[in-house]
Structure formats: C-alpha cells, structure tokens
Amino acid sequence: MPKKICITGASRGIGRAIAEAFAGEGWELYLICKENLEMLEDAAGEWRREYGVNAACFAVDVTDTEKYEAFLKELPAMDVLINNAGISYMGLLQDMSLTDWRQVMDTNLTSVFLSCKHLLPGMLSRNSGRIINISSVWGEHGASMEAAYSASKGAVNALTKALAKEAAPGNVQVNAVACGLIDTSMNAKLSEAEMQTLITEIPADRIGRPEEVAALCLQLAQAPEYLTGQIITLDGGWTV
C-alpha cells in the first residue's frame, strides 16, 4: 500500500515541485490549494498517467479556520504532512494594516498549527509519521520590509522545535526547511537589478530551484528517525 502525503500550497512553485517528487516515488497525494484547482488538477493528471499514483486535489482556504478544520477531519491518516502554504507582504511595518498582518499570520502560521493539530494524532496512533514545515532564512535573520513574513517564519521555526519534542515519544519527526532565495512567483516581484544584487551575495552564485527544496523534503521523509527538531537551511551559503 502506498504511503500517503498531504501538501498545502501544492498548485505551484515549491509545493508543486514537492508533489511531483513524491509522485515519482509512488506516494498517494492529498494536495491542497486555495484557488488554482484547475491548475493543480492538470498537474495531478500528468502524475497519475506518468507514475500511476493516486492524487486527490482540494481547493481549501487554509485561513478559513472553520472550513479548513472540517476538511482536515475528513482526511485519512497521513504518513507525511508538508506545510508549504505561505504568502508575503512587502512594505514598512508602520504602513501595514492589521488585516494584512492577520492574513500573513493565518496563512503562514495558524494553518501550520491546524494541520499539525488534526493530522498529528493519526501519526501518533500508528507510532510513525513525519511533519515538514517550509520556512525561510528570514525566520532567523529577519528581512527589512518583510517584518510580518519574518515573524511568521520565526514562529514556524519555534513551533517546529517545540512540536518535535512533544511528538518524539510517539516516533513522529518534525523538521523544517529554511529556504533562501528560491525561483518562485513570490520572488517574481523583484526587478532584474534587485535579483542580480541578491545573487552577488549568494556564494553559490544563483538562486535555488523548487526541485531542490523538493529533493530535500523527500530526503527528510526517508531520513533516520533520530533526526528531528531541526531547521535545515537551504540557501546556497547565503546566510552561513
């Protein structure tokens, strides 16, 4: 029987790359997006044909807590949960509205809490499971003009470490991948000049690829059980 994985924010970028990587290994996919369901279904169709996997796609707003919790309660027990859904806000903190602040926090942090709250018990009951949270280097270092995003990812890192301690007796490992500059739509808003300036600061002399994040997630899903509570940085040496 194939193992089951739930991925939030799966329709594009890092989430889509993760889904394809696990499809290639024969995993049964439960894929969540906010509104790009047609795009996600098209990708899932390709993976069904190419890899022969089962892939279920759902359009669920993770910030709608009532609907998201109801959805999570209907899912079967998962072997792996990947919390990838995330948004950013560019601008000065003093210009940010409370609504914008809450949107970032609900998407990047509260959704992680809800996913873990409802899917962790199934893992603990089977004495096996992995939770992988997609974080950011800004969760540790902070980014100017991205205070809310940085705060949300810093909280995800702390949650990862704390939950790893709670879940370890039940043989569930909880880790996070702190991404550097990755080639996604979230970073597409940067101008060519801004992008080149950032690349000059990265020892690897390039931005990362979503497929590289996916490969690391696949490794974490298969890593020794003693590996837990870690924030693993993937940034080409940028913040070392």
Residue 186 has pLDDT above 80, yes or no: no
Contact 28, 37 (CB under 8 A): no
Model pLDDT, residue 14: 98
Query: What is the side-by-side strand order in the sheet with 55-59?
Result: 55-59, 28-33, 4-8, 80-83, 129-136, 172-179, 231-234
Phi/psi of residue 231, nearest 5 degrees: -105, 105
From 82, 78, 27, select the one nearest 53 (Cα to Cα).
Answer: 27
What was the pLDDT predicted at 190?
A: 76
Q: How far apart are CA 3 and CA 53, in angstroms?
A: 11
Residue carrying structure tokens 């990708």: 43
Provide mean pLDDT across the span 220-236. Answer: 98
| Strands 55-59 and 28-33, sheet pairing | parallel
pLDDT at 189: 72
pLDDT category at 192 given cuts 50, 70, 90 is confident
Q: What is the CA radius of gyration of the chain?
A: 17
H or E segment and range at residue 82: strand 80-83
Q: What's the confidence (pLDDT) of residue 184?
A: 87
State the average pLDDT over residues 136-145: 96
Q: What is the rounded average pLDDT for all residues in the chain?
A: 96
CA distances from 6 to 55, 114, 171, 208 (A): 10, 13, 18, 23
Q: Indicate if 51 belongs to the active site.
A: no
Identify the pLDDT of residue 31: 98
Reference 29, options 48, 54, 46, 52; nearest CA is: 54
The tokens describing 49, both together, are 């044909």
What is the C-alpha to C-alpha distance for residues 24 and 51, in angstroms, rounded to an integer? 6
Region of residue 191 (left: phi > 0; alpha: psi -120 to 50; beta: else): beta
Active-site hit among 30, 68, 149, 226: 149
- Distance from chain centroid for Cα 63: 15
pLDDT band for 236, please (50, 70, 90 cuts). very high
pLDDT at 116 over 80: yes
Model confidence pLDDT, tens digit, residues 15-31: 999 999 999 999 999 99
- Nearest Cα neighbor of 62 from 97, 101, 16, 110 is 110
- Is the pLDDT confidence value at 122 over 80? yes
CA angle 148, 152, 156 (to 5 degrees): 170
Q: Name the DSSP letter for residue 182.
A: B
Both tokens of 29, joined, read: 């996919």
User: What are the tens digits of pLDDT across the range 32-78?
Assistant: 999 999 999 999 999 999 999 999 999 999 999 999 999 999 999 99
Q: In the chain, pLDDT over 70 holds for what percent of residues?
A: 100
Say what the pLDDT of residue 35 is: 92
Mean pLDDT over 130-147 rounds to: 97
